[in-house]
Amino acid sequence: MVFKKIKASIRYKRLNAKILSEVGRALELNRESDGTIRLPAPYGRNLPERAIEIFFARLYYKPGLKVLDVGCSNAMESHLQMVRNLEPPRNIVGIDISVPSERTRRCYDRFLHENIVSSRIDGGSFDLIWCISALEHFGMDNSSYTDQFILSEDMDVQAVKEMVRMLARGGRLLVTVPYGKYENHTWLRNYDGDHLRNLLSPMECHADIQTSYYRHTHGTGWRVATVEELEHIGYYDQSNSGAAGLAVITATKR
């Protein structure tokens, strides 16, 4: 049993190291970017969607921004290491219904043990909000993380409304969700076009929205995809320790 735990720990460390290595490659490729997002090819073979998400989170960060990281108590080590390594001056706040470990808490300048949909955060408080692989769990069965959860069919929509309210004018919201054919796995949803449109519609009168799509295959890893390519893709289709398809939403508040 101890040997199995050691092997699992080593695999986890290697997985996170590979994710950060790939993120570094993508950031370097986009260092002199004209605004067009590019990925190395191949990119992130057999890696979960964090290879895309952490790249975007890091790309959007600038020292001095007031940042809110939503749903991060159980973030992967690669995510936490990205947060730890952000350049100063920094003002990074975490928020989650689940109590973070002390090690996770120390990654942030402040941590709020609250539900984003009922928090007392003032409007316009943040320049940048990340919601990375978290929204698909909102309103779902989170019993593997905490007993302080509520089952709700529209909590994800409520959360998006709150995040937009918390953004300062000109601020940016980054939301990522697994995407393809609709699936309800009780603890998470795999979004499809209809559910994603329902999620984004409350934002449209407050923010300019850009959505990009990505697909993982064993041959090329992660690459830009069309909605049509992802139409029949299920969450577990790639056995890559995560989603097979991903929607990346960037909303800039007017």
Q: Has residue 2 got a pLDDT over 50?
A: no
Give SS3 for 236: coil
Identify the band that residue 172 occupies on the pLDDT scale cut at 50, 70 and 90: very high
CA–CA separation, 240 and 92 (whole Å): 30
Count of domains forming the chain: 1
Q: Which is higher by pLDDT, 227 or 145? A: 227
Q: Phi/psi class of residue 56: alpha, beta or left (left: φ > 0; alpha: ψ in -120 to 50)? A: alpha
> pLDDT tens digits, residue range 178-214?
999 999 999 999 999 999 999 999 999 999 999 999 9
CATH label of the domain that carries residue 43: 3.40.50.150
Domain ranges, residue 151: 2-253
CA–CA separation, 157 and 3 (whole Å): 43
> pLDDT tens digits, residue range 29-84?
999 878 899 999 999 999 999 999 999 999 999 999 999 999 999 999 999 999 99
> pTM here?
0.95
Residue count (the chain): 254
Residue range 162-190: mean pLDDT, rounded: 97
Identify the band that residue 5 occupies on the pLDDT scale cut at 50, 70 and 90: low
CA–CA separation, 178 and 190 (whole Å): 5
> pLDDT tens digits, residue range 103-138?
999 999 999 999 999 999 999 999 999 999 999 999
Identify the band that residue 7 occupies on the pLDDT scale cut at 50, 70 and 90: very low
Q: What angle do CA 222, 30, 254 make, to 5 degrees?
A: 95
Q: Has residue 9 got a pLDDT over 90?
A: no
Residue 204 gets which letter from DSSP?
T
Q: Has residue 95 got a pLDDT over 50?
A: yes
**Amino acid in the structure at residue 222:** W
* pLDDT of 33: 78
| Sign of the alpha-carbon dihedral angle for 134, 140, 146, 148 | positive
